[in-house]
Amino acid sequence: MTTLFTNARLIDPETGEDAPGWLEIADGRITARGTGAPPATRGAAEVIDCNGKCLAPGIVDIGVKVCEPGERHKESYKTAGLAAAAGGVTTMVTRPDTLPAIDSPETLDFATRRANQAAPVNVVPMAALTKGREGREMTEIGFLLDAGAVAFTDCDHVVSNTKVLSRAMTYARSLGALVIAHPQDPGLSAGAAVTSGKFASLRGLPAVSPMAERMGLDRDIALVEMTGVRYHADQITCARALPALQRAKANGFDITAGTSIHHLTLNELDVADYRTFFKIKPPLRPEEDRLAIIEAVKSGLIDIISSMHTPQDEESKRLPFEEAASGAVALETLLPAAMQLYQNGDLSLPELWRAMSLNPARRLGLPGGRLAKGAPADLVLFDPDAPFVMDRFKLQSKSKNTPFDGRHMQGRVLATYVAGAAVYRRG
């Protein structure tokens, strides 16, 4: 069946276009597009009037935690998939930090089958870099690649043994596999709840210097230079890490970097009176760091924005700040939080979608993130100006630990399409 979207504001991160136009899809793919009104000769079985709202490629979100197996009470593939659809995320790139970790073809096969059964959006899995994410012995990277893993990461368990990490990177390089790391010095960051500084001292909270991120990144870049591996830093959150990243890219290393939507829209003062929903990893940074990271995204130095969706139940968060679990849900809040950056004039819509859709798809070798003819019809229709008050109890996720609860926000997803089929329609 052919579907024609008319009267749309097309957001194309590949060309940088933000203009009125139309889009035609059939058999799960984009078949044609144009500016202005569609020609009268184009007949379609279904015509959708977008009423001037934005039509963009679906978001490709790297670093989503789905708590199957092991902690299904926090999030399942079904609830994560529903949350993704409601948030305009058409592809979830899932993390292997489950219980047990996804570190073998068997556990990866289980996760893939569960995702295919339950999630209405695309799900592509990452696998652990070392067995059990313990940093002692690398996983069977070749077998895991064959089983469908798109990248390898131990998530926030930093591999402290440099010899183990270098061997894993060397083997990954021989197979063309992507290694995703969490740049952080594990010794300095152990037990930290906030970023060091005056605010941390006033609150009496255990803190870590931003230099821990810089030191971790420096080590990883040296290993990238030594091994030639394809490398992605999952979260760059402080200004002090940016010069090292810039030098690595200038030297021609195969390196990309991401950041989370929380580090782009919140700062260390949001912790306020020990509000644990704002406890994330790495911890929120000072305002000058936030502004520097926004500029790095705009310039392309930081390639990817992700939700770093990390569900935690009430029992994990209703604790003293230093004891509470880190993480926040963000599949549904990624788009409206990103609209804060657009409304403030920090980033244009094509720049945002370059970081949230095009670049992650390219880095993982996925076909999405584009509005070109032949691209998958994975689309999000949204109103960037629609105001609302965030109510965490209305989120689709099982866990409700969002730092945006009660906040006045702008940006509503109106519909989400995966392979041309509507998986979410507002109302």
Query: Is residue 400 situated within a structural domain?
Result: no
CA–CA separation, 336 and 346 (whole Å) = 14
Residues 141 and 239 grouped into a single domain: yes
Supply the mean pLDDT for the chain: 96
Tokens (6 digits) for 126 = 């990452």
Query: Is residue 150 situated within a structural domain?
Result: yes
Q: What is the pLDDT of residues 297-324, one digit of tens each?
A: 999 999 999 999 999 999 999 999 999 9
Residues 67 and 17 grouped into a single domain: no
Does 361 have pLDDT greater than 80?
A: yes
Look at the alpha carbons of 317, 320, 322, 323 in this order and tell me if their dihedral is positive or negative.
negative
Count up the domains in the chain and report the number: 2
Residues 172 and 222 grouped into a single domain: yes
The domain that holds 8 is classified in CATH as 2.30.40.10
Give the number of other CB atoms < 10 A from CB of residue 202.
Answer: 8
Tokens 């509000």 belong to which residue? 275
109: CB partners within 8 A, 6+ apart: 147
Residues 20 and 114 grouped into a single domain: no
Query: Is residue 328 situated within a structural domain?
Result: yes
Q: Which residues pair with 239 in a beta bridge?
A: none
CA–CA separation, 4 and 380 (whole Å) = 14
Query: Is residue 67 situated within a structural domain?
Result: yes
pLDDT for res 51:
96
Query: Is residue 372 situated within a structural domain?
Result: no
Does 212 have pLDDT greater than 80?
A: yes
Q: What is the pLDDT of residues 85-124, one digit of tens each?
A: 999 999 999 999 999 999 999 999 999 999 999 999 999 9
Q: At 41, is the pLDDT very low, low, confident or very high (cuts 50, 70, 90)? A: low
Residues 339 and 415 grouped into a single domain: no
pLDDT for res 427:
81
Tokens (6 digits) for 108 = 């990866």
Query: Is residue 279 situated within a structural domain?
Result: yes
Residues 224 and 270 grouped into a single domain: yes
The domain that holds 90 is classified in CATH as 3.20.20.140
Tokens (6 digits) for 166 = 């270098």
Does 219 have pLDDT greater than 90?
A: yes
Contact between 269 and 235 under an 8 Å Cβ cutoff? The reply is: no
Q: Look up the domain containing 42 and give its range.
A: 2-55+377-387+408-425
Residues 248 and 356 grouped into a single domain: yes
Residues 420 and 335 grouped into a single domain: no
Query: Is residue 402 situated within a structural domain?
Result: no
Query: Is residue 370 situated within a structural domain?
Result: no
Residues 21 and 123 grouped into a single domain: no
Q: Where are the alpha helices (DSSP H) in 29-104?
A: 77-86
Question: How many helices and strands (H and E) does the chain possess?
Answer: 14, 17
pLDDT for res 25:
96
